[in-house]
Amino acid sequence: MTDCRFDFHCHSLASDGALTPTELVERAAGAGVQLLALTDHDTLAGLPEARQAASAAGIRLVAGIEVSVDWDGRELHLVGLGFDPDHPEVSALVASQQQARTLRAERIGGRLDKAAGLANSYQRTVTLSGQDAPGRPWFAKMLVAAGKVRDEQHAFNRYLKPGQSCFVATPWVSMDAAVAAIRAGGGVAVLAHPTRYSFTRRKLRRCLEHFVVAGGAALEVLTPGLNPQQQALLAECLRDFPLHASGGSDFHTPKQTWLELGRLPPVPVDMPLVHSLIGA
């Protein structure tokens, strides 16, 4: 498995990525990726197209999703891998998340109408994204297109990030419920990018204790840009908790050259990989 190039975390236009599922799969294949999971945020909409593209490109596609969850009052992200996309509990989870995202998007749009002096901000963003539940990156793109901000980062800094006037918190599903749905569908729950939550070592370990009890099975430890201290912390967590290692680029756009598809750190020979849990 260490010789198989894989990427179990990436995004397409079905959520907040820049490429269609077909373009994403073709780019992954061009980068030598042999095992790929499309993990769009709280949606499986891109999966059928990605499946067709993967078959044509001669690579294996693993069913995937990235689910936003609430843990201890914090938004965390779980990656689900290898589940049955048509399982009723998976479908119910996606429907619940999409409902929460739509409500949030409508509220963001209403706030932007007042704060940015726009009309129909929500509908503008729906039209731009092609989604009923566009995320904040799509609102940022809309604000750029409307000439209200210099660029997408300016949109977040002025309107969309926590603490700004148009940020809206979302009542995400609990970690326990998300893990249960992924497992019910025959899949594996992975805690995504654990170093991005600004956790202390103690809080990360407390989170992992809860995650394991809930049925979580893997930790995303093979990602670009980790420093030696972060790598050592994650290796310690793998030693101390009954978790397998997963990895992915978190690719969104070709503009982020440091997050290229399949460009992951080398896999240590003694690291248990999530592959064995999903039959990959």
pLDDT (0 to 100) of residue 102: 96
Helix (H) or strand (E) holding 37: strand 35-38
Largest Cα span, the chain: 57
pLDDT (0 to 100) of residue 2: 53
**Residues facing residue 188 across a β-bridge:** 81
Rounded to the nearest angstrom, the gap between the alpha carbon of residue 208 and the centroid of all alpha carbons in its chain is 18
**pLDDT by residue (tens digit) across 77-122?**
999 999 999 999 999 999 999 999 999 999 999 999 999 999 999 9
Residue ranges in the chain whose pLDDT is less than 70 = 1-3
Torsion sign (Cα): 230, 235, 240, 244: positive
Cα–Cα distance, 200 to 209 (Å, whole number): 14
Phi and psi for 58 in degrees, rounded to 5? Answer: 75, 30
The torsion region of residue 62 among left (phi > 0), alpha (psi -120 to 50) and beta comes to beta
pLDDT (0 to 100) of residue 84: 98
**Helices 88-115 + 175-184 axis angle, to 10:** 140
**Residues facing residue 65 across a β-bridge:** 80
Helix (H) or strand (E) holding 108: helix 88-115
One DSSP character per residue, 180-241 reads HHHHHTT-EEEE--GGGG---HHHHHHHHHHHHHHT--EEEEE-TT--HHHHHHHHHHHHHS
Secondary structure letter of residue 156 according to DSSP: I
Cα–Cα distance, 30 to 24 (Å, whole number): 10
pLDDT (0 to 100) of residue 27: 97
pLDDT (0 to 100) of residue 4: 83
Matching CATH number, 6-82+187-278, of 3.20.20.140, 3.40.50.11540, 2.40.110.10, 3.40.50.1010: 3.20.20.140
How many Cβ atoms are within 10 Å of 147's Cβ, its own excluded?
7
Cα–Cα distance, 273 to 276 (Å, whole number): 6
Residue whose entry in the numeric block shows the structure tokens 């049955």: 84
Query: Does the predicted model carry a pTM greater than 0.85?
Result: yes
Boundaries of CATH 3.20.20.140 in the chain? Answer: 6-82+187-278
Q: Are strands 74-81 and 188-191 parallel, antiparallel or unpaired?
A: antiparallel
pLDDT (0 to 100) of residue 257: 84
